[in-house]
Structure 1
Amino acid sequence: MYNAYNDISQSVSQISAVVIWLGLVFLTSAILRHFGHEPELVRKVVHIGAGNVLPIAWWLHVPFGICLAAGILFSAIALASHYTNILPMLNDVGRKTYGVFYYALSITILVALFWEQHPQYVAIGVMVMSWGDGMAALIGKRFGRHTFVHLGNQRSLEGSLAMFVTSMAVIVAILGFSQDLQWRNVMMSVPVAAIAALLEAYSPGGTDNLSVPLVSAVLSYFLQ
């Protein structure tokens, strides 16, 4: 009975910490919207902030079942939001794609594949997408001078470079946290980050939110 109580108490604490973090992310986005900041900035704040949930869940040892259930729930909410706009901070950037749904779906798939044995690769996939793509958008919008268009999506070389550098940093940091910092991790991060940057630039219609995390995580796993 005592052990069962401890398990329940621990699960409640873990879930509460994640919910509090997400609450802070969405509160920040609401404040930014209230003061008239650009929708793209608001969306990227949520994009990056939501991605940080996975390292937090990893650090807190949130069980597989809870993570998988949360991923399925958020995937359903994201899909519903595509049609009902219940998450306006994610959908009001002048384009209508399934990007938010793909983002949640990729997290769910990665949790199903890796969470029980290799949670670091879930963190890599999601953080490459959240921080890499987020920095690509923000840097590209602010400093992008050399632009190119693919399937109607405008990108910049400056944004792609930001994606590449950020992805490398994320991979090295996560692997350094989960194991001793090794030179081969730095070397391995280069091709993974390069492919992630290419996928971010050329995946159409928000599918980079699916391709980037899945490919980054799987490649990192096989190159280790």
Structure 2
Amino acid sequence: MFWLESVHPLWFPLSVIGIFLLCIVLLAEGLNRFTAMDGELTRKVVHIGTGNVILLAWWFNIPSWLGIGASIIASCLALVSYFTPILPSINSVGRRSLGTFFYAVSIGVLISWFWPMGQPQYAVLGILVMTWGDGMAAVIGQQFGKHPYEVWGSHKSWEGSLAMMGMSFLVSALVLLSSVDNSGLTWITALLVAIMATSLEMFSKLGIDNLTVPLVSGFLAYFVLNF
């Protein structure tokens, strides 16, 4: 997996990641400005698309300092966009949330912790659980949520929560099976991560689940498999 770093200089993976991110943002902005798509759905395009950058960072073995620096820059942009809607696809009008800021912070924390340890799979797991689990929970919940419920003023649906649990289990299992030898415990770990992530998403306010879900998912998987 990491052989590409010795074949290509750093500019190559950075160019690939930069082009990928630019395409995601331009796609979301185009959908937001020129189509009738709901603003929340365009946010999820950014949410899901940008989260997958962690796979490129893992594949290219991007240095930890670079990931942390990118997280800081993304956090600053998210805060600016929160107060000044320069990118409506990131913070949609009518839905005040610091979720994008927390999302960027969680990426920086996970990379700074697990990359130097030589255990990047746990950072990847935490971020992808948030990327796909929360992303699909919102999409499925909005489009097919017929059985709503409310927790602390937050409106959810059972369809969305089940999508969150299912996707969290799937991505956790795939990441761990590709990088951890103990395949028997892997399935139990993926299930525990899925249950915990879904529970945290249920009790979220102001987008705080974008911080708690990836951090708890990554660290939970690490401790279960290593202790």
Give yes or no for contact 1:74–1:104 (8 Å, CA) kept in 2. yes
Is 1:92 matched with 2:97?
no
CA RMSD of aligned residues (A): 1.6
Match of 2:191 in 1: 190
Write the distance in 2 (CA, Å) between the matches of 1:46 and 1:198.
Answer: 23
Q: What's the offset of the Cα at 1:76? A: 1.2
CA distance in 1, matches of 2:142, 2:132: 15
Q: 1:79 to 1:53 in 2, by over 3 A?
A: same
After the TM superposition, which residues 132-211 of structure 1 pair with which residues of structure 2 at under 5 Å, given as runs? 132-180=133-181, 182-211=183-212
Partners of 1:71 and 1:199 lie apart in 2 by: 22
Q: Which residue of the partner structure matches residue 104 of structure 2?
A: 104
Cα-to-partner distance string for 1:98-138 (whole Å, 9 max, x where unaligned): 11100101111111111122111111111000100010001
The whole-number CA distance in structure 2 between the counterparts of 1:171 and 1:93 is: 33
Which ranges of structure 2 fall in alignment gaps of 5 or more residues? none
Report what 1:3 is aligned to. Answer: none
CA distance in 1, matches of 2:166, 2:137: 10
Deviation at 1:207, TM superposition (A): 0.2
Instruction: Say whether 1:11 aligns with 2:15.
Output: no
Report the TM-score, using the length of structure 1 for normalisation.
0.93
Amino-acid identity (%): 43
Q: 2:82 is matched with which residue?
A: 82
Structure 2 letter corresponding to 1:68: I
Matched residue type, 1:132: G
Q: Per residue, is there more helix in 1 or in 2?
A: 1
The 3-state SS of whatever aligns with 2:10 is: helix
User: Helix, strand or coil for the counterpart of 2:156?
Assistant: strand
Q: Is the 8 Å Cα contact of residues 154 and 204 (structure 2) preserved in structure 1? A: no
- Residue type matched to 1:108 in 2? G
1:52 is aligned to 52
Determine if the alignment matches structure 1 residue 216 to structure 2 residue 223: no
Q: Which runs of 4+ in 1 moved over 3 A?
A: none
Q: 1:78 to 1:223 in 2, by over 3 A?
A: same
1:139-159 deviation line (CA, Å, top 9, x unaligned): 111111221122322101111
Who is 1:25 aligned against? 24
Rounded to whole Å, the distance in 2 between the matches of 1:222 and 1:158 is 30
CA distance in structure 2 between the aligned counterparts of 1:185 and 1:14, rounded to whole angstroms:
30
Letter in structure 2 aligned against 1:223: V
Letter of the 2:131 counterpart: S
- TM-score by length of structure 2 reads 0.91
What do residues 43-91 of structure 1 show as CA deviations (whole Å, max 9, x unaligned)? 1010000100001110011111111111111111111211112221011
Alpha-carbon distance in 2 for matches of 1:205, 1:27? 26
Report the secondary structure of 2:178's partner residue. Answer: helix
CA distance in 2, matches of 1:139, 1:180: 33
